[in-house]
Amino acid sequence: METRKLIKSATVLSMDGRIGNQHNFDVLLEGDKILEVARGINEAGAEVIDGTGMIAMPGFIDAHHHMWMGVLRNLGADFLISKQVLDGKQQAALAASFRPEDIYASTLSSAINAIESGITTVLDHANLPSAEHLAANAKALAEAGLRSVLAAPASLGEAELQTLQASLPAERITLALASSEPQDVSTQQLQDEWALARKLGLRISAQVGMGTSPDKDQLAELSKAKLLGADVLFAHGNTLTDRDLSAIKSAGSRVVMTPAAEMMQGYGAPTVQRFLDAGFTPALGVDTEIANRGDMFTQMRSANSMQHAMRFDKKLAGNLFADRMLTTRDVIQFVSVYGAEALGMQASIGTLTPGKQADIILLRQNLINVMPVNDPIGAVAWAMDNSNIDSVLVAGNFLKRDGKLLNHQLSQMQTKVNQARQHVLGAVPA
């Protein structure tokens, strides 16, 4: 029998409609799976994890992140203004200044930061220039221990993509295609790229509507060419037309928004209400940490605050049929249930359901920033931060426990990221 763990007496936010949200509930794990979610589980021989004063819930899912930009963390708005919008071409130019060892350090720092903040699954859109860079990126993800989708560019070619795919620990990291941006290339190039992805059985991550003109249907040609499908995840979409959104929805494609980064980087107004109006159940992502925190608390609050502000503006303008206001449960679904759906992983993650992977986080309710917890869902969505993350499990293995990061020495990480930053940006500013 595999080792069993029993999370005892927690407030469980299962995100599973059949189980619901329950006080004083237990979660039994066996190996990498959730075995049972119920009250009063007694399992002799299981390792007991005291969940008293904790919220147990599915690990957060970050559905769009450029983790290789980690060493550019906190450069802030001034950098973005000087570089204008960080579109695909500018990102490619920036990536060329990184050595593979810089990519490794940068990605590892982003992944460790994700673990610290309760993220258990990430889609890493690694639009990088060479196989060596991608290998370094993959090495960092594997060492971090996160469940990951590594999206690599078609420019690697079929043989290199297959080599990269074969090198990944398949139980935790899967390969996807980081598409060229539809607004920057021909329909024929996209047809070739996406045909390659589908030949290799890869899902597709595409960035669209990033600070471009909103008066043109960017995806009309893709729709006519029947390229759209349920295997495509579109990120951003700020300046897509209503026809574009309709085409994506009709094809069964998914969407992910990164509201904090989009507002800072000039992509256009975050698309939360337009995605909801079009019938999507959107996921959330970090995008970059250049002027944005690398956690999902920030993304949930940004999405919620933006939608509320837009809704109240309509109401103040006399609109008697103003949009339904997002709830805290809605935004938690964005980073759990809908995040899993966006990555095609809804059968294995996103809810605390028996049979699914044991990707679980424990959050402390006894800290001053949330006590007293009158509404656990509201506390997670509005008040908590990284300090509340007590423990993080991926596939039943602890990556963080009792508030302490496992498996990684931050002092060693600091040396690596400082060396990478020095190479990419030059000497440390005075």
Domain boundaries, the chain: 4-58+356-405, 60-342
Query: What residue has token string 């949009």?
Result: 323
Smallest CA-to-CA distance from 228 within 206, 212, 258 is with 206
pLDDT at res. 218: 76
pLDDT at res. 359: 98
- β strands within 232-379, DSSP E: 232-236, 254-257, 283-284, 360-364
CA 363, CA 367: separation in Å to the nearest integer?
A: 10
Q: Spell out the residues 6+ positions from residue 101 whose beta carbon is closer than 8 angstroms to its own.
A: 136, 419, 420
CA pseudo-torsion sign 193, 195, 199, 205: positive
> 60-342, what's its fold?
TIM Barrel (3.20.20)
pLDDT at res. 268: 79
Q: pTM here?
A: 0.94
User: Is pLDDT above 80 for 176?
Assistant: yes
Are the CB atoms for 150 and 126 separated by under 8 Å?
Answer: yes
Query: What residue has token string 């956690």?
Result: 295
pLDDT in tens, 131-163: 999 999 999 999 999 999 999 999 999 999 999
Query: How would residue 430 be classed by pLDDT, with cut points 50, 70 and 90?
Result: very low
Specify the range with the lowest mean pLDDT, choosing from 60-69, 73-82, 272-281: 73-82
CA 410 to chain CA centroid, Å, is: 22
SS3 of 255, please?
strand
The residue type found at 263 is M
Look up residue 181 and give its DSSP letter: P
Q: What CA dihedral angle connects 6, 9, 12 and 14, to 10 degrees?
A: 30
Are the CB atoms for 54 and 13 separated by under 8 Å?
Answer: no
Summary mean pLDDT of the chain: 91
CA 372, CA 257: separation in Å to the nearest integer?
A: 32
Q: Is 250 exposed, middle or buried (0-12, 13-18, 19+ CB in 10 A)?
A: exposed
Token couple for 384: 């908590």
Distances in whole angstroms, Cα of residue 368 to Cα of each of 55, 129, 383, 385: 15, 46, 10, 12
Query: What residue has token string 């019938």?
Result: 279
pLDDT at res. 82: 54
Smallest CA-to-CA distance from 62 within 251, 357, 304, 288 is with 288
pLDDT at res. 215: 61
Domain covering 4-58+356-405 in this structure, CATH number: 2.30.40.10
Q: How many CB atoms lie within 10 A of CB 308?
A: 14
Mean per-residue pLDDT, 360-368: 97
pLDDT in tens, 241-265: 999 999 999 999 999 999 998 888 7
pLDDT in tens, 78-120: 665 555 556 666 777 778 889 999 999 999 999 999 999 999 9
